[in-house]
């Protein structure tokens, strides 16, 4: 006999159902257990179910294995939360089609919705787009915002890394099951997020592979979880624009878009959003000001003010070659701003800034206007 939670997970495992159809079944029958015990003819009477899905639901014992699913989740360190659980995120309950099941690796907090910003954009990010996304992720996280994105290549990846640069919080909403990480090169990023900086979340069964339909489903959760949506770089036909439109129309969230060169296809979607009423945004400060998040109490313990009286740190010894060579080589290659150095070296600003200062003190580099640096000749 299945428990109510196991029954919901079982429904979520049946291919082709989805959250809207599961909700219709729950409204018709009253509980997941009654759905699974209903005769096929009665299941077919539910709107949007039909004979084919009714047959699949009636045959659930042969097409699902909830025990194996829960064991797989446990093996991956994933917690399974259902819509009826007390710790289900309240801010997702406002959705017309909330995920019936959430697979969670890491930790989400109630405060993650208070000052949450979805940073989204194209997978084929330009250097400008990737650098900008990482900068916004870093500075907004440093101001106490939780960064929401989808762990995809390009803008999503840069935004998550930016939040981690600041030691802040970020949530990655996945368009696939937790046992099918995509892209594989983001395994380190996923591990870093789960190591005290946020969570990975998915509504899909553990071994569900990504597809053209799973990513649009994922986007509605990104839109619902955030209070502001920032589109960094996106062409005209982009899932990011779909996320932005849902955020504005379904949840009344503020949509921001970053402009780019007018002849750059990758920025055409942002320009369309701005033309249609999205707020043009050129700095994290502008977003924080427009959202009313300037000069407010920061939620995270990471950002509690330090005591006024602090010990004066001891002078550090001169830089070693190992500490400075990577930065000097990157500067020589033309990566001459802090954002560019963070991106190319894959390191946080909090680790690079002190080295830049010491290289200036040792007169090995020279600061230039516009936040740029060059090697001292």
Calpha distance 294→5 (Å, rounded): 42
Write out pLDDT tens, residues 110-148: 899 899 999 999 999 999 999 999 999 999 999 999 999
Write out pLDDT tens, residues 55-109: 999 999 999 999 999 999 999 999 999 999 999 998 898 888 999 999 999 999 9
Q: What is the CATH number of the domain that holds 330?
A: 1.10.10.10
Judgement on whether residues 344 and 290 belong to the same structural domain of the protein: no
Q: What is the CATH number of the domain that holds 291?
A: 3.40.50.450
Judged against a pLDDT cut of 80, whether residue 220 lies above it is answered with yes
Helix or strand or coil: residue 324? Answer: helix
> Which of 13, 32, 64 corresponds to the end of one domain?
64
Does residue 135 fall inside a structural domain?
Answer: yes
Q: Which of 46-50, 270-274, 346-350 has the lowest mean pLDDT?
A: 346-350
Judged against a pLDDT cut of 60, whether residue 23 lies above it is answered with yes
pLDDT given for residue 325 in this prediction: 85
> Which of 42, 64, 86 corresponds to the end of one domain?
64
| 49 contacts 89 by C-beta, under 8 angstroms | no
Task: List the domain range (segments joined by +) for residue 26.
Answer: 1-64
Calpha distance 137→154 (Å, rounded): 13
Does residue 4 fall inside a structural domain?
Answer: yes
pLDDT given for residue 209 in this prediction: 93
Calpha distance 19→234 (Å, rounded): 28
- Please state the pTM of the whole predicted model: 0.77
Does residue 97 fall inside a structural domain?
Answer: no
Q: How many independent structural domains does the chain possess?
A: 3
pLDDT given for residue 315 in this prediction: 33
pLDDT given for residue 316 in this prediction: 38
Judgement on whether residues 328 and 286 belong to the same structural domain of the protein: no
pLDDT given for residue 301 in this prediction: 43
Does residue 1 fall inside a structural domain?
Answer: yes
Write out pLDDT tens, residues 228-249: 999 999 999 888 999 999 999 9
Judged against a pLDDT cut of 60, whether residue 280 lies above it is answered with yes
Does residue 50 fall inside a structural domain?
Answer: yes
Judgement on whether residues 28 and 114 belong to the same structural domain of the protein: no
Does residue 219 fall inside a structural domain?
Answer: yes
Judgement on whether residues 263 and 152 belong to the same structural domain of the protein: yes
User: What percent of the chain stands above pLDDT 70?
Assistant: 91
Judgement on whether residues 138 and 276 belong to the same structural domain of the protein: yes
Judgement on whether residues 330 and 230 belong to the same structural domain of the protein: no
């Amino acid at each position: 006999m299945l428990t109510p939670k196991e029954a919901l997970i079982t429904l979520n495992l049946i291919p082709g159902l989805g959250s809207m159809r599961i909700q219709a079944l729950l409204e018709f029958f009253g509980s997941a257990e009654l759905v699974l015990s209903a005769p096929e003819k009665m299941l077919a009477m539910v709107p949007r179910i039909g004979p084919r899905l009714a047959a699949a639901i009636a045959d659930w014992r042969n097409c699902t294995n909830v025990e194996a699913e829960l064991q797989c989740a446990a093996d991956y360190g994933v917690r399974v939360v259902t819509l009826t659980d007390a710790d289900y995120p309240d801010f997702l309950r406002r959705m017309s089609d909330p995920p019936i099941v959430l697979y969670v690796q890491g930790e989400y907090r109630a405060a993650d919705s208070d000052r949450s910003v979805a940073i989204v954009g194209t997978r084929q990010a330009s250097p400008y787009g990737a650098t900008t996304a990482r900068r916004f992720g870093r500075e907004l996280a440093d101001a106490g915002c939780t960064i929401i994105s989808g762990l995809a290549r390009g803008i999503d990846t840069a935004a998550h890394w930016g939040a981690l640069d600041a030691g802040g919080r970020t949530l990655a909403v996945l368009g696939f099951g937790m046992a099918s990480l995509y892209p594989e090169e983001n395994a380190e990023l996923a591990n870093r997020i789960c190591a005290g900086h946020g969570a990975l979340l998915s509504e899909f069964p553990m071994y569900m592979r990504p597809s053209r339909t799973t990513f649009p489903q994922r986007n509605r959760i990104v839109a619902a979880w955030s209070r502001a949506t920032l589109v960094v770089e996106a062409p005209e036909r982009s899932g990011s624009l779909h996320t932005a439109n849902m955020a504005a129309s379904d949840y009344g969230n503020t949509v921001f878009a970053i402009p780019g060169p007018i002849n750059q296809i990758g920025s055409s979607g942002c320009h369309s959003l701005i033309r249609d009423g999205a707020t043009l945004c050129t700095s994290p400060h502008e977003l924080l000001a427009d959202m009313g998040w300037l000069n407010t109490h920061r939620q995270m313990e990471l950002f509690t003010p330090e005591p006024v009286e602090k010990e004066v740190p001891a002078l550090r010894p001169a830089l070693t070659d190992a500490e400075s060579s990577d930065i000097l080589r990157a500067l020589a290659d033309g990566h001459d701003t802090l954002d560019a150095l963070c991106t190319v070296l894959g390191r946080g600003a909090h680790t690079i800034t002190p080295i830049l200062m010491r290289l200036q003190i040792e007169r090995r580099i020279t600061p230039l206007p516009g936040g740029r640096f060059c090697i001292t000749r």
